[in-house]
């Protein structure tokens, strides 16, 4: 079998390096043309087959085979050792250079694209408009509302309440609307039942919920709970919660208070009690949904209360703070707003009563440590002296 000598191996390596250099030049030209936007569509991606070919040829032909001994076995072994180390050095250097060049080309391309996005000709001297803010989205359109800011009930726009024969059907609908983006049969069964529930029992609950909704507000195109043959448990659009309506009103009021005050006041007036009051929905407490609704109501009550103080509207002030205290009794900021409202009316007795009611609420709450706020007590004393 014919063997390659040292000169032939070096010649092949030189040819492989020349091919790699040509690939670098070609890739660089193509990337430059692409960056400048002058490359034709037929060029396509960087021709990596050139790099693969160069590396493959060099790897295939760089392995020296044993040759016949010429001047002695020891000398030939030394020559092979020296030649192999030289070839390995050339391959290592070529590989490092190829990877550095390849990374540099893509880095330049990425930076060029970023600069093009930020400083394109059409945007020079022009302020880029911000994307539409989430708080500016319109209020959700709905035909049915699930009222969760109080005892859970479902009503139509006309105030007609949806009747349910069993509480599980109502709880299922409340769970579905609170998990609209991830409503599945398996998740619902896990959340609403402690143990294993029969398929027939779950199907009956879903059927009752579907019938109850369709009985008071039938849909023309489909049912409120579409039928599926998968694990999905979808809920048709057009049914929202009063917490969603309050959230939209709150965000719109924060951006444009004067224009959206009436919408926020109307939404806040619908707060009846603690979220899910009277219902033993362990999943709502465990997932933080109850807390989230409480925070929304309190935030809305504080914003409306402060706005009412600025407008000297005591009726609005007391309505808003009273709704907030329904979901979180003893909230210091709401109590302070109410005491300021009484002080404007010159009603010192009401200030004293607000303080005593707050103190009793705090003492009855074990988490508060049975210690009313000294700052709020001092505020009550100052307002009583005015």
For residue 188, which of 110, 283, 276, 108 has the smallest C-alpha distance? Answer: 283
Q: Specify the long-range contacts of residues 202-209, CB closer than 8 Å, at least 24 apart.
A: 205/166, 205/168, 205/169, 205/172, 206/172, 206/233, 208/164, 208/165, 208/166, 208/169, 209/164, 209/169, 209/170, 209/172, 209/173
- Per-domain residue ranges of the chain: 6-123, 147-240, 242-385
The model's pTM = 0.62
Q: What is the mean pLDDT of the chain?
A: 76
Average pLDDT over residues 310-327: 95
Could you tell me the pLDDT band of residue 371, with boundaries at 50, 70 and 90?
confident
Read off the pLDDT of each residue in 317-328 and give the average, rounded to a whole number.
96
Quote the distance between the C-alpha of residue 247 and its chain's center: 16
Residues 173, 197, 153: CA angle, nearest 5 degrees: 20
pLDDT exceeds cutoff 70 at 67 = no
* Structural contact between residues 242 and 267, judged by C-beta atoms closer than 8 angstroms: yes
Per-residue model confidence (pLDDT) at position 336: 95
pLDDT reported for residue 60 = 44
3-state secondary structure of 153: strand
Q: Please report which residue ranges of the chain form alpha helices under DSSP H.
A: 6-36, 48-61, 73-118, 167-178, 185-192, 199-216, 242-255, 257-269, 282-286, 289-311, 314-327, 332-345, 348-364, 374-385
pLDDT at 219: 77
Q: What is the pLDDT of residues 101-160, one digit of tens each?
A: 444 544 444 433 433 333 333 333 333 333 344 444 444 578 899 999 999 999 998 889
Percent of the chain with pLDDT over 70: 67
Is there a contact between 380 and 358 (Cβ–Cβ < 8 Å)?
no
- pLDDT higher for 29 or 327? 327
Q: Alpha-carbon distance 124 to 22, whole Å?
A: 39
Span 147-240 CATH architecture? Orthogonal Bundle (1.10)
More confident residue, 93 or 7: 7
| Fold that domain 242-385 belongs to in CATH | 1.25.40
Nearest to 269 by CA among 311, 316, 328, 309: 316
């Amino acid at each position: 079998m014919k063997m390659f000598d040292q000169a032939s191996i070096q010649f092949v390596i030189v040819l492989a390096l020349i091919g790699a250099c040509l690939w670098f030049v070609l890739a660089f030209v193509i990337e430059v043309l692409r960056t400048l936007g002058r490359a034709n569509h037929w060029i396509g991606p960087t021709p990596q087959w050139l790099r693969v070919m160069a590396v493959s040829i060099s790897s295939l032909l760089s392995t020296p085979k044993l040759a016949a001994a010429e001047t002695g076995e020891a000398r030939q072994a030394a020559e092979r050792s020296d030649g192999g180390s030289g070839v390995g050095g050339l391959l290592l250097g070529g590989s490092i250079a190829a990877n550095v060049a390849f990374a540099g080309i893509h880095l330049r391309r990425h930076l060029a694209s970023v600069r093009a996005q930020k400083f394109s000709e059409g945007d020079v001297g022009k302020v880029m408009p911000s994307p539409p803010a989430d708080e500016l989205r319109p209020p959700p359109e709905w035909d049915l509302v699930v009222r969760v800011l109080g005892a859970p009930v479902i009503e139509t726009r006309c105030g007609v309440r949806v009747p349910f024969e069993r509480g599980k059907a109502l709880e299922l609908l409340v769970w579905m609307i609170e998990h609209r983006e991830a409503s599945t049969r398996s998740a619902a069964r896990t959340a609403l039942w402690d143990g294993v529930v029969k398929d027939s029992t779950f199907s009956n609950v879903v059927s009752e919920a579907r019938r109850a909704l369709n009985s008071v507000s039938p849909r023309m195109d489909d049912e409120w709970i579409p039928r599926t043959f998968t694990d999905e448990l979808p809920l048709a659009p057009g049914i929202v919660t009063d917490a969603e309506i309050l959230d939209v009103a709150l965000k719109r009021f924060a951006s444009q208070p004067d224009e959206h005050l009436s919408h926020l006041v109307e939404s806040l007036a619908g707060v009846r009690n603690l979220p899910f009051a009277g219902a033993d929905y362990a999943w709502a407490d465990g997932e933080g949904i109850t807390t989230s609704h409480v925070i929304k109501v309190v935030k809305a009550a504080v914003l409306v209360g402060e706005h009412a103080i600025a407008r000297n509207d005591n009726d609005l002030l007391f309505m808003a703070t009273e709704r907030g205290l329904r979901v979180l009794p003893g909230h210091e900021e709401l109590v302070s707003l109410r005491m300021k409202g009484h002080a404007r009316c010159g009603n010192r007795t009401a200030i004293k009563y607000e303080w005593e009611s707050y103190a009793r609420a705090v003492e009855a709450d074990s988490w508060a440590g049975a210690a009313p706020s000294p700052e709020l007590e001092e505020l009550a004393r100052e307002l009583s002296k005015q």
